[in-house]
Amino acid sequence: MADSEYVEDLPEPADPSLKNGHKLVLFQRIPIELRIQEEGQPSQVGKMIEVDCKLLAFYRSKNLLEVRLELTSEADMFFNYSHFLNADNFRGTQQEHKLLVNLTDYPDMLERLLTSCANKPQEFISIFTMRRNGWARLDFVQNLKCKFLELLTCDFIISKQDEIRENVMYRYEHAKWEFAMETKRVKEVTKFVKHNCPSVLQKVVPKKVAKVT
């Protein structure tokens, strides 16, 4: 491919999750057991998939107004769910799930749980149960060997079609941007080695590639 086909100064695509002023708190990939629950039936044991968790917070004058947790997966580009709590609906969720934290501390709680699921997947388990009506829930469970302790339940709703399309396009454009940046770095390293250690370049890179400037 000709060098002119690479756009070396391509700007990084804007994340649509941040367009309304949200701040990225954590991006973490964790293993999740994916289940489907039919109406009136218990959920069945599902399959394990890797899910990208994007934890976001919206502040105004240093006051936390909303917490969002977005779930996507590289295994299914159209898998896209969101959990959000704000000052209006947090109290109801706090009472329903018996949360011992307030909204201000909620992002830290989610961050600790997501990090634990990523670093200690045998001890900290996450189960995502989907319903046909678009709602779902994410259960964080700790395996204490003698019993399973339920830590937190988060309610999710499937994202709107236009939001899913926007996210898919962003991930595609971001992958192109990452490839362009890696190509640029490889060319810079190749050029440096060629001018400073040409004998090394000839040994590790085919002659045709070594001509790249």
| pTM for the whole structure | 0.82
d(CA 80, CA 132): 14
Q: Can you give the pLDDT at residue 4? A: 41
Q: Can you give the pLDDT at residue 117? A: 97
DSSP state of 18: G
Q: Can you give the pLDDT at residue 188? A: 82
Instruction: Report the DSSP beta bridge partners of residue 47.
Output: 34
Find where tokens 């192109």 sit: 176
Tens digits of pLDDT across the chain (213 residues): 444 444 556 788 999 999 999 999 999 999 999 998 877 676 677 899 999 999 999 999 889 999 999 999 999 999 999 999 998 889 888 888 788 899 999 999 999 999 999 999 999 999 999 998 999 999 999 999 899 999 999 999 999 999 999 999 999 999 999 888 888 888 888 787 777 777 766 666 665 544 545
d(CA 108, CA 34): 24
Q: Can you give the pLDDT at residue 128? A: 97
- What are the strands, taking DSSP E only, across 9-147? 23-37, 47-60, 63-73, 76-86, 124-131, 135-143
Q: Can you give the pLDDT at residue 200? A: 64
